[in-house]
Amino acid sequence: MSDLPQTEGRNPRSAGLDRLGTPALVELLAEEQRAAIDAVVGQRDVVATVVDAIAARLRGGGRLHYVGAGTSGRLGYLDASEMPPTFGTPRDLVCPHIAGGVEAITRAIEGAEDDGEAGAREMRDHVRPGDAVIGISASGGAPYVVRALETARAVGAYTVGVANSEDTAVHRAAETAIVLRTGPEPLTGSTRLKAGTSQKVLLNTISTAVMVRSHKVYDNLMIDVVATNEKLRGRSQRLVSHLTGFDAARARALIAAAGGSVKTAALMGLRDLDADAARALLAEHGGSLRASLGE
């Protein structure tokens, strides 16, 4: 039996890849991505446990960290960068860390993933006991990620190890293990394909679910969206109009009075409150619009 991780195996379905006609080539590469969704859904119970554990730490003042190398690290940066505009979070609430530093976001840094001490140092410098750390490695063996998880766990942070192979060093280093069973890639060893897609889906799922549990969502609406451009200003107005039944002009006036906060503006309109009273009511209910409305 080979000691190679599953992500390094040969995929029999893609044998003769370079001999396929272009339509068949495109179909095969796209079709293989279905395994990424199945891999995440197959771990829904453990992912739910992870979501609840992370949400509890954020409520206690902790932060969420992503740690990865190469594609995995870049996906962490992508997800973290989308939290502030989507959910109105502080920029340091979700913190990404990549082997080789920020330069590695746009180009490969040779040997960076093998530098375990760099991963340990990154955690010592940035992680606190109440934080949560998700370490991501397709093969499950990147020393940067393994040492980061070991160090974060020793500090007292909650740790999650994510890999696309079974029983890896990343899994053993963490308190909770998530196995994304995507199997061999259509292009042997190219984990930017199925493995990367599964990691993107997983991080989207975890971060969005954590934000739902953190009262950043009402129904299926982004009530803490930050209106940083015209598109988002229009979305904010539509959200307040939808929630209150008011016309666009009244909704925009409420948003202005609320300092741009959709959640505060909606509560002002629904309960006939001024901005300070609406903010106080939200604070009393932990930021939950639903609870503030008595629902």
pLDDT at residue 1 in the model? 40
Burial class, 150, CB count within 10 angstroms (exposed 0-12 / middle 13-18 / buried 19+): buried
Domain ranges for the chain, please list them: 6-213, 230-292
pLDDT at residue 227 in the model? 86
Question: pLDDT of 57-112, one tens digit each?
Answer: 999 999 999 999 999 999 999 999 999 999 999 999 999 999 999 999 999 898 89
Active site residue 103: no
| Range scoring the smallest mean pLDDT among 73-87, 158-172, 223-237 | 223-237
Instruction: Give the separation between CA 146 and CA 119, rounded to whole angstroms.
Output: 8
Of the candidate CATH numbers 3.90.226.10, 3.90.1720.10, 1.10.8.1080, 3.30.1490.20, the domain formed by 230-292 belongs to 1.10.8.1080
pLDDT at residue 5 in the model? 82
pLDDT at residue 171 in the model? 98
Give DSSP secondary structure letters for 30-94: HHHTHHHHHHHHTTHHHHHHHHHHHHHHHHTT--EEEEESTHHHHHHHHHHHHHHHHH---TTSE
Which of 113, 122, 150, 185 is catalytic? The answer is: 113
Average confidence (pLDDT) over 207-228:
94
pLDDT at residue 11 in the model? 87
Q: Which residues contact residue 118 at a Cβ distance below 8 angstroms, ignoring those fewer than 6 apart?
A: 99, 112, 144
230-292 has the same fold as 6-213: no
Question: pLDDT of 119-142, one tens digit each?
Answer: 999 999 999 999 999 999 999 999
Indicate the DSSP class of residue 158: E
Distance of CA 239 to the CA centre of its chain: 24
Active site residue 113: yes
Whether the pLDDT of residue 4 is over 90: the answer is no
Q: Yes or no: is domain 6-213 CATH 3.30.470.20?
A: no
For all residues of the chain together, what is the average pLDDT?
Answer: 95
Task: Return the percentage of the chain with pLDDT > 90, whole number.
Answer: 90
Which of 8, 27, 32, 82 is catalytic? The answer is: 82
